[in-house]
A and B are shown apart, each in its own frame.
Chain A
Amino acid sequence: MCPTSVPSPIDPEMRKAGDEGRPFVIRKEGDDQHQATWEKVDAVMDNILKELKE
């Protein structure tokens, strides 16, 4: 069972974008707070940079 009392890990800005019909949230410059989606995005970007260096 999903514990709904747990605070949402989604960035409030992302939620706001969704409510406004925008599919995306602006990640602020220097924002490195824990966020599962962003960790995946950063991992993909690291892989791209690794491929470019090879």
Chain B
Amino acid sequence: MTENTEKSEQACDGNCSSCGTASTCTDPAKKTSSPIQKVEISVKHIILVLSGKGGVGGKSTVATNLAMSLSNKGYDTGIVDLDIHGPNIPKMLGVEDKRLESRDGKTIEPVRLTGKLGVVSMAFLLPDTSSPVVWRGPMKFTAIKQFLEDVNWGDMEYLIVDLPPGTGDEALAIAQLAPNIDGAVIVTTPPQDVAVMDSTKAVKFIQQLELPVIGIIENMSGMICPHCGDEIDLFGKGGGKKAAEELDVPYLGSIPH
């Protein structure tokens, strides 16, 4: 037996329902032991926001923008920041000093930005912004379950889920746990080859999770001049549209810097 296998077996407590890697588990006995139950949540629509890779594409910015657009249209909206290791939505929204609180000792209240917009993030639970979260998949799975199940989302109409870069535990967990996911929005950047490559990975990932792909957004598509308001092409354009055409999914539009 290899060292890795020994470690893997030591980490397994035999409870698939709390295991973030249950869907990829290669042990047939463990995999079939208990199917993961969907959580009970009364949010009407859940939209995932992801990209094939991260750190440069502005995925969290897009997720936040979309949530604010929805709330501005009058919909009761929430954002859940599932970037457990690098939560930055609170910073973007200027509420990084807030903390999650409970009124009844049972459910967690989302941090309210406006009457129509609430946010939940791991950042609200960390002692400071420099504290790392050193967690394996099962712990992340449990946290994500709590963010869905134990938060008082009420009868919110839309929940925007900002996923971390790539195609890992967090996306698997939300797909397994959330009962009413409408689909995923894929964020990409303008350079065409990169956009197609990254979007392909993300689209295939979502399809493997048997979720609908709502469409592709091209972010950082040009820049609005701060002086004259004209749009300036910085890195070219059209990557998102090309990727959407090649992957046969809807193109949702572009957002400038």
In the docked arrangement, what's the CA distance between A24 and B185, Å? 20
A44 to chain B, nearest CB (A): 4
Partner of A42, one of B69, B94, B113, B250: B69
Partner of B226, one of A10, A42, A52: A10
Q: Does B25 contact A (CB under 8 A)?
A: no
B256 adjacent to A37 (CB under 8 Å): yes
Closest to B250 in A: A51
A29 adjacent to B226 (CB under 8 Å): no
Partner of B117, one of A22, A29, A40, A42: A29
Partner of B254, one of A4, A40, A45: A40
Enumerate chain B residues within 8 angstroms of A22, measured Cβ to Cβ. 91-92, 94
Chain B positions 71-89 with a Cβ under 8 Å from a chain A Cβ? 71-73
Q: Does B100 contact A (CB under 8 A)?
A: no
In the docked arrangement, what's the CA distance between A7 and B131, Å? 41
Closest to A21 in B: B91
Partner of A10, one of B66, B114, B224: B224
Q: Does A19 contact B (CB under 8 A)?
A: no
Highest count of chain A CB atoms <10 Å: which of B116, B227, B231: B227
Enumerate chain A residues within 8 angstroms of B172, measured Cβ to Cβ. none
Number of A interface residues, CB 8 Å?
32
What mask results when residues 18 to 53 of chain A are scored 1 for a CB within 8 Å of chain B, else 0?
A: 000011101111111000111011111101100110
Q: Does B1 contact A (CB under 8 A)?
A: no
Q: Does B93 contact A (CB under 8 A)?
A: yes
Closest to A34 in B: B229
B65 adjacent to A41 (CB under 8 Å): yes
In the docked arrangement, what's the CA distance between A53 and B85, Å? 34
Enumerate chain B residues within 8 angstroms of A29, measured Cβ to Cβ. 71-72, 114-117
B253 adjacent to A47 (CB under 8 Å): yes
B224 adjacent to A51 (CB under 8 Å): no
A30 adjacent to B254 (CB under 8 Å): no
A37 adjacent to B69 (CB under 8 Å): no
B69 adjacent to A41 (CB under 8 Å): yes
In the docked arrangement, what's the CA distance between A24 and B119, Å? 15
Q: Does B255 contact A (CB under 8 A)?
A: yes
Partner of B92, one of A24, A38, A41, A45: A24
What mask results when residues 197 to 240 of chain B are scored 1 for a CB within 8 Å of chain A, else 0?
A: 00000000000000000110100000011111111000000000
A22 to chain B, nearest CB (A): 6
A6 adjacent to B252 (CB under 8 Å): no
B224 adjacent to A45 (CB under 8 Å): no
In the docked arrangement, what's the CA distance between A44 and B253, Å? 5
In the docked arrangement, what's the CA distance between A15 and B250, Å? 33
A6 to chain B, nearest CB (A): 6
Once A24-B61, A41-B65 are accepted as A-B contacts, the answer to whether A48 and B226 lie under 8 Å apart by CB is: no
Pairs of residues from A and B, 3 with the lowest C-beta to C-beta distance, nearest first: A29-B114, A45-B69, A24-B92
Interface residues of A (CB under 8 A from B): 2-4, 6, 8-10, 15, 17, 22-24, 26-32, 36-38, 40-45, 47-48, 51-52
